[in-house]
Each structure stands twice: as structure tokens, then as C-alpha cells.
Amino acid sequence: MKLEIGQFYVKKITFGEKTFFNNGELTLNKEDLLDFVKKDERITEADIHIVKPGDLVRICPVKEAIEPRIKLDGSPLFPGYIGDVVPCGSGKTHALKDCSVLVVGKHWGGFQDGLIDMGGEGAKYTYFSKLNNIVLVADTNEDFEKQEQQKKNDALRRAGHKLAEYIANCVKDLTPEDIEIFELDPVTKRNDDTNKLPSVVLVMQGQSQMEESGYNDLVYGWDMNHFVPTFLHPNEILDGALISGSFMPCSSKWSTYDIQNTPVLKSLYREHGKTLNFLGVILSNLNVSLEQKERSAIFVAQIAKSLGADGAIVTEEGYGNPDADFVGCIVALEDVGVKVVGLSNECTGRDGNSQPFVTLDQKLDAIVSCGNVSELVELPAMQIVLGELESLGRDGFAGGWASDEVLGPSVREDGSIIMENNSMFCGDQVLGWSTKTMKEF
């Protein structure tokens, strides 16, 4: 399976009379894009903004991020979700790099939403402050869920995914600056030199805890709550088979942008045939009951062992209840002789002294921490706010609050904020972006 991603590097974004890309500058016809978004009658208000790294802009509540891409064969960017269910992971795709579409609520946030600062002290907490961003700020007529802590945000999220594809259509017929090629021989058809290397599989545990449809990560449009661990070609992950859901405290989430670019997967690709034999991806889930968790762990271990994996990297989307899936999966792999490195954030409390995972095991002897979800973050007021900052304290954010006896409200009268890292949009970047480090004192 061979995937070619042609790359167009966005250095500047402006508004103009038509949408086109030329010499690093992406020009957008704002009116046309808004007309496209408003084809969904559920969208009642919408606006589009452009922000760049260093801008003194605070964005909240952020719901999703997508890299603009277009597939040259005309198949949908996210099959089964914004188009027919068709195979992905091969062929040619064009991508606007160093750029994302951010989906932001105009009024209402929730447990799963986050915050981005494009400049100032807060910019270091999230990868998306480094990108040129097209910010869709919108509201919908989905009144039934505005007062809910958990929101499906279907209209807004779907608008963002469609808009990312619509924008990228402007580079469909252009020649990319460079091309990333992802190709792996079938597992049983590799040469002797590759087969002699340590064999490694990537286990991705996507969010799937909500038993009601509409909240969880989707695979080819299929709700991962109904999913069982499955072996996927890594190109499928990079090419739109998996998209982010509308659930999970925000710093722990994988946005669709993260999934499209999964850094740890790309690192394994780079080492394939050199220091390791990259077998592929076992896509697993995060469950509700203990029996479900144990069953998935058994499946993952059996698939890895049958593939001949010597080692595995296990990534977890979320924390708390999902920790039981994460730990159980690692233990099951170790029990069948597969050596594991785990990649996750942790919940060690505001003082950093609490137990990092809900459950622990002695076999967890190689864990990479991406940060503490409960760490307090205090930031000064920002000149411009896109969205509605009040939602951070009002709407039940994981990491924000309306009032606290000691700390006061998350959003202060002067516009400054205090919150937990939980509310930083994809702030822990568990799929491999994280630049955080640990220090011993």
C-alpha cells in the first residue's frame, strides 16, 4: 500500500476575492466559505477569522482541528463520515501544511472543549499556536444540548471537516513543493534484512467510552464504542480513516489534525528497515466495563503476538477510567512476551503528588509522560478573544470552574484566567508532539 501526500507549505493566509494558493500564501474568499458552511441549516451564525503564531489572540471554546487536504481521485477526505465508505491509505493526497481549520463555538462550550493562546505565555502549552489557523466560529440550533456538559457538536464538527476539504480543493491541480511517501510491504513479504530487525507495532487506544452514538472517535464513520481491536495499515490512520470524537477532557484528546499527522507513527516509519521492522497499527478502544477492558487487552495481545511483534508502543487518549484499559493492555502484551513503551499523560493532582494512573502494575516500567492534566495554568488577559471566554468557567469545562473558595473563578473580571491544564486544547499531544519534560528536584 503506497500513500503519497503532496505538501504545500502555508506561510501566510489572507482574505481575497477568490480562494487560491500561490507561493506560500493561501488566499480565502470569506463569503464563499461562509456560504458553504451555512449549507447546513443547523448553522445559525458563523464567521471566519485568520490567526497566526504570535498574535495576541485567545480562542475558546475550541472543539476540533483539521489539516486541510484533498484526495486527487475524488474520494472523500474522511470516508464514511463526509462521504461514502471507501478504502483509504493509498493513492495521492494534497495537504496544506503548517495550517489548520479550528472549529470554535460562538457561545457554548463543554467538558471536551479547550483553549488556545496564539501568543504570549500561553502559546507554549499547545502545538496549534505554531500554526497558521483558519478559525471557524459558529453557533447552531442544537438547543437541546447547549445546557449539557457533554455535547456532540455534530453540526460544528462536521462543518469543520467539510470546510477543510473544501479549502484544500484549491491545490488539487497544483504541483506540490515536496511529497511524503508512506509505503510498507505486506508483513509476510518483507526482505531478510528487515525481518532480522526488532518488530514493533503501534497500539492506538481511541476514545470510545460513550455508549450513546455521536461522541466517540470514528473509524470509517463507525462509532468506536462498537469496535473491537483491529489491525490497520498505518497509511489508513494518516489518510482519514480515523477522526477525533467530541468527548474527553481536552488536553488528553487527539484532534483529527493530530491523527492525520501522528508523529509517533511517522517516527516508526522513518526507522523502518533501519533500526526496526514496523508491522503496523493495532487500533483498539477504551471501554466502560472491566470485562470489556479485559477482552480488548486479550485481543490486542493476541494480534501483536500473531504478527510476531517483539515490541509495542501503546498510546492512550484520555485518563481516569481509560487508564484501566491502558494498563491492562500493557500487562497483557508483556505477559505474551511483547516489550512495551507506554505514551500517556497523567493525573497527579494540582500539587503533582497523586497517583499518576487510576490503576498501576509493576510491568509498567517504561512510560513516557506527556504532562499532568491537573497542573494549574495562570495566564494574563489577551487583547482579542475569539469565541466566548466565559464558557471556560460557565459550561463545565474539564479544567475550568465558575468559582473556587481559594482560587476564585477561572475567568476573572480583568480577562485573566486560571485553569487546569485539562482545558488546554490537545495540550498534552499524546500522539507525539509534546515538548514537555520532567525535572527532578
Quote the pLDDT of residue 303: 98
> Quick check: 91 and 122 in contact, CB under 8 A?
no
Residue spans of the chain under pLDDT 70 = 441
- pTM equals 0.97
d(C-alpha 207, C-alpha 205), whole Å: 7
> Quick check: 252 and 430 in contact, CB under 8 A?
yes
Per 3-state DSSP, the chain is made up of helix, strand and coil in percentages (nearest 5) of: 25, 30, 45
Distance of CA 137 to the CA centre of its chain: 19
Quote the pLDDT of residue 425: 97
Distance of CA 139 to the CA centre of its chain: 22
Quote the pLDDT of residue 47: 98
Quote the pLDDT of residue 439: 72
Residue (of 282, 318, 279) closest to 297 by Cα position: 282
